[in-house]
Amino acid sequence: MKIEKIPSFLGTLLLSTLALSAAPAESKSGLPRLSDYIRPFVGTQGEGNTYPGPSAPFGMVQFGPDTETELWETASGYEYTDTSIIGFTTTHLTGTGIPDLGDFLFMPQVGEPSLVPGPKDNPDQGYRSRYSHADESAAAGYYKVKLQKSGATVELTTGERAGMMRMTFPASEQASILTDLHHILTGKKWKVIWSHVRVEDDSTITGFHLVSGWARERYIYFAARYSRPFDKFQIYSDGNPVIYNTYRFRSSRDAVGTNLQFVASYKTSANEPILVKIGVSAVSAANALDNLDSEISDWDFEKVREATREKWDHELARIEVDAPQEDKETFYTSMYHAFLAPNIYQDRTREYRGLDQNIHVAEGFTNYTIFSLWDTYRATHPLFALIQSRRDSDMINSLLAHYDQSVDHLLPIWSLQGNETWCMVGYHAVPVIVDGLLKGVKGVNVEHAYEAIKTTAMNPDYDSVATYAKLGWVPFDQEDESVSKTLEYAYDDFCVAQMAKSLGKKADYDYFMKRAGNYKNIYDPSIGLARGRDSHGNWQTPFDAHFYDDNSRSNVFTEGTSWQYSWYVPQDVPGLISIFGGRDEFAKKLDSLFTFQEANKSAGVDDIQGRIGEYWHGNEPSHHIIYLYSYAGQPWKAAQRLHEVLKTQYGNKPNSLSGNDDCGQMSAWYIFTALGFYPVCPTSDYYVIGSPAVKRAVMRLSNGKTFTMTADGLSDQNIYIQSVRLNGKDWNRPFLPYNELKNGGTLAFTMGPQPNKTWGTDAKIPE
């Protein structure tokens, strides 16, 4: 949490009470609907990098306000402490650490229209406008704000591929709606390479831009229909009106270039609403228009909002929890965030833009994009495998389509709208695919999937995988972040092996299980931690186990320290325990992690918060670590730390998220943890029991079964497991076998204020 950004504790409280919940229509029963618990502002302040605007579950459109285009700390375009809104754009990333998107800005203005946003430190210039959180609200499928500059109120809602904007204007001779095709979230680096805009008729425009950003070659199109024909319109290019030219005719109805704006002008009466609905497509303007017209056929704003709200009710009902209001808000907002990405990336026609920039038709699946796999393989996709099986199948097929389109014959690393960003390390599409398939996800060609995961793991070029396969580790003299890569490859290889095993491919199983043991090669027995090793087998010297520098080319870890990464052997925690000298030593070492302060002073760690010593919950390398106590037979220590994190790093406030939500991974951690178990090793056949944080939860598994968790006696004090009954039997091991979950059943915790140190000491991993 960036505490320094909160104006005052009182201010935050006040804001949360007054402004954070829009007044949604009540359900027919008069009872709250699950979607009512969604708090879209959660994570918009500080490092969460979420956005407050409306989105359908996994929607292609994320319609929302942008307050910032350059800062990576505001990668979603909206920071709660910013005091001005630039405009409203149709696409956003949720919780990433790198900005992109922010396509197609729409902004109402009154008076002489401005074509440039103006500086953030002087919101009186340009088209940007000051606003107050008191005039702002957000709910499932809905966002509203009053703009102080124009006096116009803007409301947003959205369907899957098209959004709608209702602007309520004051009376004005000079009201206008700007479309700025030049606006994107630049992160100070990205550029609009080309764009065009066309005035199709007196109330319809279409347009396009090609952006070289984090996604290096990204094409996106839009179509916008206006509820009122333009009184007049004007296209601008580089600030100049595109007008009739008597030397040689040039149409005033379309333009191309790198810096285009369109202004629709109106004379408005007081409180006159003008609506704009906007469809998007990565394929063509024609498809954007088709997406728009097929999804939003009329001008009924409330109908669109209600349809999306119903979608959220439906999605959230996959887990019903019993908890206090605030915890329910936190829980369902976590589900909301977990279900924002990956995003549908195909048109109504099933066409989508592939990694090869060809237009493909998704046959037999729905194509998704935005796979933040280094994050989401950990808990998000394992959650999908249980309760979003159909979508997980589509996502796996999307990963395979990417593989088919890759000149490198690689599954995605971090894929973004028809592009590979090569962001982060490992080949974590593998655990996503294998976990899904082993958990019963249907509709995937398993042989094709196996070919893709094996080919990816055997790639001759990617990040020294070939050297690793030969040598047993990634040598730091040949490859950056070599220790993290070694550890993550070894885990991914374990996943390939599990798939090979399930297919009866014995030789492959043996081969990849051998590679899964490669982690052992980079633990230096002299210090008992993971350490860089060169191609000759020498340990990296000098070596500081608390060293962190994400920008250093000599770093052998990926956004982490040796002390953080040394816990990363999810596929063989007993092996790691053995390296560390047994359970007690292991647990003692783990205790110490929560006390170190050394790395906190390192360069480049500002954007990783949520720190308890050197346990940094704000970034993924720490996410599984607390659960390792259970492997050591000391689950009560996990209980204490888990509740500490749940209570201090999550919540229902804008600043509640301690780190980048990373396309839902932070939130998926919350969901699993609140339910009392977590997938420390996705693709394995067990989960690790931690300590539940909701009194009761009913999971509607995708196979139609229902799994119910109860936490008898749970309270803020009663966080320790006293006993467990699993499917009616006493259960003493701190693991939940998938076999006990998959057919539905019950997991009944009895909670108390003190650890029952006899429970969970039998830490043998289920076979």
**What residue ranges bind its own copies (CB under 8 A)?**
193-194, 196, 198-200, 206, 208, 210, 212, 216-217, 244, 246-254, 256, 284-286, 356-359, 407-408, 413, 420, 422-423, 461-464, 478-480, 553
Cα–Cα dist 643/413, whole Å: 32
Q: Considering the complex, what minimum distance in angstroms separates the CB of residue 602 from its own copies?
A: 19
Among 218, 189, 164, which residue's Cα sits nearest to residue 345? 218
Location of structure tokens 């700390």:
73
For its own copies, the closer CB: 393 or 558 = 558
Residue 262 CB, shortest distance to its own copies, in Å, is: 12
CB of 719 to its own copies, least distance (A): 41
- Rama region for 412: left / alpha / beta (φ>0; ψ in -120 to 50; rest): beta
Q: Are 214 and 100 in contact (CB under 8 A)?
A: yes
Sheet hosting strand 142-146, strand order edge to edge:
136-139, 142-146, 153-158, 162-169, 272-281, 218-226, 204-212, 191-201, 254-257
Minimum CB–partner distance for residue 297 and its own copies (Å):
21
Q: Residue by residue, what is the 3-state secondary structure of 413-461?
A: CCECCCCECCCCCCCCHHHHHHHHHHCCCCCCCHHHHHHHHHHHHCCCC
> How far apart are the C-alpha atoms of 164 and 106, rounded to whole Å?
11
User: Nearest CA to 152 among 175, 133, 118?
Assistant: 175
Say if residues 558 and 486 touch (Cβ distance below 8 Å): no
Residue number, 182 or 196, with CB nearest to its own copies: 196
754 φ, ψ to 5°? -125, 145
Question: Which token pair is 627?
Answer: 């659960």
Q: What are phi and psi of 621, to 5 degrees?
A: -60, -20
Nearer to its own copies among residue 182 and residue 624 (C-beta): 182
Buried b (16+ CB within 10 A) or exposed e, 188-202: eebebebbbbbbeee
Q: Which is nearer to its own copies, 79 or 347 (CB)?
A: 347
Smallest gap from residue 559 Cβ to its own copies (A):
12
In the bound complex, what is the minimum distance in angstroms from residue 239's beta carbon to its own copies? 19
Q: How far is the CB of 604 from its own copies (least distance, A)?
A: 14
- Least distance CB 251 / its own copies (angstroms): 5
DSSP 231: S
Nearer to its own copies by Cβ, of 463 and 661: the residue is 463
- To the nearest whole angstrom, how small is the minimum distance from the Cβ of residue 457 to its own copies? 15
The alpha carbon of 226 is separated from its chain's Cα centroid by a whole number of angstroms, namely: 32
Tokens for 136, please give them. Answer: 């702002």
CB 659 within 8 A of CB 369: no
Nearer to its own copies, 196 or 617 (CB): 196
Q: CB-wise, 9 or 249, nearer to its own copies?
A: 249
Q: Measured from the CB atom, is 414 or 636 closer to its own copies?
A: 414
Give the span between the Cα atoms of 52 and 318, in whole angstroms. Answer: 23
How many H-runs (helices) and E-runs (strands) does the chain carry?
A: 19, 35
Strand-pair category, 745-752 with 706-712: parallel
| Residue type at 81 in one-letter notation | T
96/47 Cα distance (integer angstroms): 9
User: How far from 116 is each of 75, 99, 108, 121, 455, CA to CA, in Å?
Assistant: 21, 20, 13, 14, 48
- Please say which residue, 421 or 702, places its beta carbon nearer to its own copies: 421
CA–CA separation, 318 and 473 (whole Å): 42
For its own copies, which is the closer residue by CB, 208 or 707?
208
| Of 401, 412, 332, residue with least CA distance to 377 | 412
Q: Do residues 429 and 475 make contact, with C-beta atoms less than 8 angstroms apart? A: no
* Residue 504 CB, nearest approach to its own copies (Å): 31
Least Å from the CB of residue 351 to its own copies: 9
Residue 743 C-beta: closest distance to its own copies, Å: 42
**Residue nearer to its own copies on the CB measure, 250 or 705:** 250
Q: What is the 3-state secondary structure (H, E, C) of 537-575?
A: CCECCCCCCCCCCCCCCCCCCCCCCHHHHCCCCHHHHHH
Nearer to its own copies, 445 or 478 (CB): 478
- Are 509 and 487 in contact, with CB atoms under 8 Å apart? no
CB of 280 to its own copies, least distance (A): 15
Task: Scan for tokens 């995003």, then name that residue.
Answer: 343
Tell me the closest approach of the beta carbon of residue 752 to its own copies, in angstroms: 48
Q: Minimum Å distance from CB 84 to its own copies?
A: 33
By beta-carbon proximity to its own copies, the closer residue of 44 and 464 is 464
Which one, 109 or 284, has the nearer CB to its own copies? Answer: 284
d(CA 18, CA 8): 15
The answer to whether 136 and 124 have CB atoms below 8 angstroms apart is no
User: Which of 134, 256 has the CB closer to its own copies?
Assistant: 256
> Residue 157's beta-bridge partner residues?
164
For the bound state, the minimum distance from the C-beta of residue 618 to its own copies, rounded and expressed in Å, comes to 21
Q: How far is the CB of 353 from its own copies (least distance, A)?
A: 10
3-state secondary structure 242-309: CCCCCCCCCCCCEEEECCEEEEEEEEECCCEEEEEEEEEECCCHHHHHHHHHHHCCCCCHHHHHHHHH
Q: Which is nearer to its own copies, 71 or 193 (CB)?
A: 193
